Amino acid sequence: MFLNVDKHDQNKIAIKDDSGYSLTYADVCRIIEEFDALHLPRSVIFCLCQNCAGSLIGYMAFENNKQVPLLLSVEMDEGLRNNLESMYTPGYYWVPEEKEEEIKGEKIYSAYGYVLLKTKYEPYSLNDKLSMLLTTSGSTGSPKLVRHKYGNLEANAENVAKVFSWRPDEEVGICDLPMNYTMGLNVINSHLIVGASVLMVKANLMDPDFWEFIKVNGGTSFCGVPFSYEVMKRVGFDKMDLPKLYTLAEGGGKLTDKMFRWIATYAKNSGKRFCATFGTSETSARMAFLDPDLALKKIGSIGKAIPNGELFLLDEVAGEDGTVTGELGYRGPNVTMGYALNRDDLMKGDEFCGEYHTGDIAKRDADGFYFIIGRKGRFLKLFGLRVSLDETERILKTQYPNVDFCCTGDDKRMNIFVTDEGIQDEIVPFISGKTNLHNSAFKVFVIDEIPRNDYGKVKFAKLEKIVSKYYT
């Protein structure tokens, strides 16, 4: 079975959530077999995900039984979801019971607060190797999807479990990141593949119930994005009594050196370990790992490649200090097949062929350790979510067709330039709702016109001057 769930201790708790559900490995196997007995035709299934047992067990059953789940946030804007539905025509939806009336469809099966609904769409041809779909641009609802092939998720789970030394009798993984987010999914997969337990948590890090749930249930390993650690510092994480929590991991973006040092120092002084990691949706999550013993010696580093993987640099430029800079690339069995922009693309074969060029600019030091120093493309990572600036502009221009927009920013904030003062107060609530990102992720600047050259290209340098003046 998927993630070898039938080979683990069947009496052991596999999944426990903060909604009250608890499943043993025997329960997981039983549900997977019940799905198999439905004899569903191979098709795309839209899974509206939240961090709970029902959501997770559906994904596992679909992977095992050769369906093709597209993992989406349950909070995705309805209009954006409908756009994806019209493009990819899913045969089924796997949704929380409270979404049944909204989605509409023939109820086929239910378990642990989730229902399987058959849609009006007929099955269509899919590549035989296609196993799963994830969005590429956070929660903006872009039709561009990452195409996973069979073996990607398992390979990455096994390699990550190996580098973290997960053991079934000791580990209780904490999944606080959304399971439709590649890093959250990897937390789940890397624990279940060794027979450990996973805590699925919907409560957020600022909620005392989150930490109480973790403490009561003996959570041992936590993975957060940079924003997670900012929140944890604000709520006094370093003063909490969490005796079982041993591993603190980070991924999904770049910590500031100050925050990196804070959590690494805390881990060292409290007998825990801090593990910096790095990955992308296109590599099934993690592809680099920093040995926790080196965290304070290599502040800001993503480390070296995970087992069975290889990091390299494209267009290398050597520095006088022995460093080399270039675009970060990766080879390994966890590299996905490529992208889909429409339904027809789901028939495509493996376009990446085991090698992915990240678009991130990295430096490799004289000891062979890698550091992310910038981004080649127009993408930000806000609160750990990869967000396309171009896609955000498209959403805004669709809503306000007579207004000109341009988006810039960094991993702390997106700057939205607009030429209509009358809609200034509407923009942040609107785009926050579309992306499911907090209002603080956006800053609006009203200008007379977007500066462009004779070819219509935006003069970004002029926009950055406006931003720099505001923040100085």
Q: How many domains does the chain have?
A: 2
Alpha carbons 161 and 275: distance in angstroms, whole number: 13
Measured CA to CA, the distance from residue 381 to residue 410 in angstroms comes to 8
- Average pLDDT over the chain, rounded to whole? 92
Same domain, 385 and 349: no
| List of E strands, 282-395 | 285-289, 304-305, 310-318, 324-331, 338-340, 355-364, 370-375, 379-382, 385-388
| pLDDT at residue 155, rounded to an integer | 95
* Distance of alpha carbon 49 from alpha carbon 132, whole angstroms: 14
Whether residues 208 and 165 fall in one domain: yes
Question: What percent of the chain has pLDDT above 70?
Answer: 97
Joined together, the tokens standing for residue 421 give 């003062």
Do 221 and 280 lie in a common domain? yes
Do 260 and 316 lie in a common domain?
A: yes
Mention every residue, 6+ apart, whose C-beta is less than 8 A from residue 373: 325, 361, 362, 363
Q: What are phi and psi of 268, to 5 degrees?
A: -65, -45
Q: Is 228 within 8 Å of 205 (Cβ atoms)?
A: yes
Residue 28 reports pLDDT greater than 90: yes
**Are 373 and 422 part of one and the same domain?**
no
Query: Which tens digit of pLDDT belongs to each residue from 395-414?
Result: 898 889 878 899 999 888 99
Q: Which residue type occupies 272?
A: K
Residue 311 lies in a domain: yes
CA distance 273 to 266: 9
* pLDDT at residue 140 tops 70: no
| pLDDT over 70 (residue 355) | yes
Which two tokens mark 334?
Answer: 């966890």
Q: Are 396 and 416 in contact (CB under 8 A)?
A: yes
Residue 455 is predicted with a pLDDT of 39
pLDDT of residue 385: 81
Q: Is residue 31 part of a domain?
A: no
Span 401-451, pLDDT tens digits: 878 899 999 888 999 999 999 999 999 999 999 888 999 999 999 999 988
Mean pLDDT across the stretch 60-71? 97
Would 104 be classed as within a structural domain?
A: no
> What is the mean predicted confidence (pLDDT) over 152-163?
95
Q: Around 196, how many Cα atoms within 13 Å sit in the side-chain half-sphere?
A: 27
Separation of alpha carbons 416 and 400, rounded Å: 13
Does residue 44 belong to any structural domain of this protein? no
Contacts of 150 (CB under 8 A, 6+ apart): 129, 131
Q: Are residues 373 and 397 in the same domain?
A: no
- Rounded-to-integer distance, Cα 156 and Cα 84, Å: 27
Contact in structure between 181 and 49 (CB atoms under 8 Å):
no
Reported as a pLDDT band with limits 50, 70 and 90, residue 375 is low
Q: What is the pLDDT of residue 378?
A: 74
Cα distance between residue 314 and residue 312, in whole Å: 7
Tell whether the model's pLDDT for residue 456 goes beyond 60. Answer: no
**What is the C-alpha separation between 49 and 95, in angstroms, rounded?**
7
Residues 356, 386, single domain; the answer is no
How far does Cα 201 stand from its chain's mean position? Answer: 15
Residues 179 and 241 in one domain: yes
pLDDT of residue 80: 86
360 and 424 fall within a common domain: no
163 occurs within a structural domain = yes
Query: Is 315 inside any structural domain?
Result: yes
Chain centroid to CA 174: how far? 15
Distance CA 280, CA 251 (A): 9
Q: What pLDDT was estimated at residue 457?
A: 63
Residue 134's DSSP bridge partners are 71, 146
In a domain, 254, yes or no: yes
Does 443 lie in the same domain as 361? Answer: no
CATH for 238: 3.40.50.12780
Maximal CA-CA distance, the chain: 69
Residue 161 lies in a domain: yes
* Average of per-residue pLDDT across 139-150: 79
SS3 state at 337: coil
421: CATH: 3.30.300.30
Helix (H) or strand (E) holding 47: strand 44-49
User: Is the domain of 315 the same as that of 386?
Assistant: no
**Domain housing 193:** 148-334+345-377
Q: What is the pLDDT of residues 269-299, one digit of tens each?
A: 999 999 999 999 999 989 999 999 999 999 9
Distance between CA atoms of residues 314 and 309, nearest Å: 16
The string of pLDDT tens digits covering residues 92-127 is: 999 999 999 999 899 999 999 999 999 999 999 999
DSSP per position, 238-275: GG---TT--EEEE-SS---HHHHHHHHHHHHHTT-EEE
- Asked if residue 191 and residue 180 are part of one domain, the reply reads yes
User: Which pLDDT score, from 0 to 100, does residue 148 have?
Assistant: 98
Q: What is the pLDDT of residues 209-259, one digit of tens each?
A: 999 999 999 999 999 988 789 889 989 999 999 999 999 999 877 787 888
At 454 the pLDDT is: 43
